[in-house]
Structure 1
């Protein structure tokens, strides 16, 4: 079983479903509201666990009611939460608006996630003992960099999803084995709107890149080869929230099982396609049996 350490955020998603998202200064009436466990780190962790990974979650929740719910949900998903600390104050939240096309807009308030600024001996040991480390950018950058350094020093394969997008320091990129931005993040990081051009630019900084393209699939590029687009299954999206995290978490399991890259990408794309056909983020993520049957 693939051992995966996830150093990342844990949020409660506050999701409003509307016909269309409001314009600035406009009020619209929604048809439904849900609270759903989320956070990019926790989402990737749940996706990996459901896909068959042995997952350790590293991060923090608040000492509020959301914190207790978030911890219980991760434990129910089979994650090791011994390194998910409880901080004073509120848990992280994400305010999400989902329209009738399945598109979403998100505002994240870090809460307890902002307290994770450095790693202790336990966190370092968990990363060193993993097969892969998953990173995102919803924790303070100091902790992300430290986690990447520990993984790199121990030969642990490191995957970074650079979201929310921000300039990436060389000291972080030097420790990343696989960078997985979406097409908008890739453009923001490189200045190139063409995914192929963006990927080629990013290959000067990391060994391999996957640019996710939503319904169009993903583009894979590695040093020494040409970028290749892998199409996604054609489905009708209900809610795209969590699709990227599903892709990353599932892909990590496949790569940890040493599957060939094309097979790994197809498997992860199938998982993401299943995710978008259901409402919610972590609640919509498929189990291994469902992915295998897709």
Structure 2
């Protein structure tokens, strides 16, 4: 049974969420994001290759990506002011990555320029929009604790911080500590997934974002038969998440939407109905929406409702940042749904 704060069954519909995008676009949304910027080498094939198999694919595309950069771009396209922190190399991809972030409206003036390669990923997308991704950290691995300390004033100038785990764990933990102690809300995306998060990171992260499989591994919960995630006891999951160390969390469920876990209670949020072209970066679009909504004071469940639209829109285009929409584009796309 899904429970609301008053103990009744809770189900949040899509209706009425889209106008909340105006609160982000017209408000004073300010966000800090620290982490990865990657050049995504993407090829579309009829299906994903099996181990050891070679298959034919379409033209190779170079697209801007990196989980943190994607999240920053998604937030900025919605109208938020986003400061990006991290590092690029001295290769041709560095200018490419920063240029696309600037085009999205992200402030990249605090990004480090280091020798060596920028971060890269190799992505294969099938005809159903599913993908496989291989990540090479490059300059992302050089984002240091010292850099966090040097950037502390700028990092803490916003009410919300976005973190993922494509940077060194020591750096992530220190950034979470500094920003949490400064009174910021710290939203942690446990991706790439780590099942043993450091205690100090759990202590200083206010909200956790994971998918259903990551949640099950993190809490040591058996996955349901036939992938019937809506049929499990989400109130108990919310309580287990509290015991793990997170009072608030969002668990994404793919086509089933997501569950918002808040103070031991669970609320379901629907996904929007779309014909997916490419799901690359959709989770990052969702995360970017949470950051933008939280920065203007929206409730977590309302942020998740908006995230369903923003990530749904992203799935209708190819690539990550290249598929993200503005508030106006997303409202126009879904206003009749």
Counterpart for residue 164 of structure 1: 192
| Deviation for aligned residue 1:247 | 0.5
Counterpart for residue 77 of structure 1: 104
Contact 2:210 2:250 in 1 (8 A): yes
Mapped partners of 2:179, 2:268: distance in 1: 29
Counterpart for residue 253 of structure 1: 292
Please identify, of 254-263 and 174-183, the stretch whose mean Cα deviation from structure 2 is larger: 254-263
Pair 1:48 & 2:88 matched: no
Mapped partners of 1:165, 1:191: distance in 2: 14
Please identify, of 120-129 and 189-198, the stretch whose mean Cα deviation from structure 2 is larger: 189-198
Q: 1:119-158 to 2 correspondence within 5 Å?
A: 119-158=147-186
Alignment gaps of 5+ in structure 1: none
| Deviation for aligned residue 1:122 | 4.1
Counterpart for residue 276 of structure 1: 315
Contact 2:253 2:259 in 1 (8 A): yes
Larger Rg: 2
Secondary structure of the 2:102 match is: helix
Secondary structure of the 1:179 match is: strand
C-alpha distance after superposition, 1:176-225 (max 9, x if no partner): 1110011122122222235635543222211201001111100111114x
Q: Aligned to 2:208, which of 175, 179, 184? A: 179
| Deviation for aligned residue 1:125 | 1.1
Which one scores higher on RCO, CA 8 angstroms, separation ≥ 6?
Answer: 2
Task: Note closer, same or farther for the CA distance 1:120–1:168 as it changes in structure 2 (3 Å cut).
Answer: closer
C-alpha distance after superposition, 1:77-102 (max 9, x if no partner): 21111221111100110111111110
Q: Aligned to 1:17, which of 44, 49, 61? A: 44
Q: 1:22-41 to 2 correspondence within 5 Å?
A: 22-41=49-68
Secondary structure of the 2:69 match is: helix
Counterpart for residue 256 of structure 2: 216
When normalised by structure 2's length, the TM-score is: 0.84
C-alpha distance after superposition, 1:77-133 (max 9, x if no partner): 211112211111001101111111101111100000000121344421122111100
Contact 1:217 1:229 in 2 (8 A): yes
Task: Note closer, same or farther for the CA distance 1:137–1:126 as it changes in structure 2 (3 Å cut).
Answer: same
Number of aligned residues: 293
Contact 1:59 1:116 in 2 (8 A): yes
Counterpart for residue 2 of structure 1: 29
Superposed structure 1 runs of 4+ greater than 6 Å apart: none
Counterpart for residue 93 of structure 1: 120
Mapped partners of 2:70, 2:92: distance in 1: 19
Contact 1:92 1:111 in 2 (8 A): yes
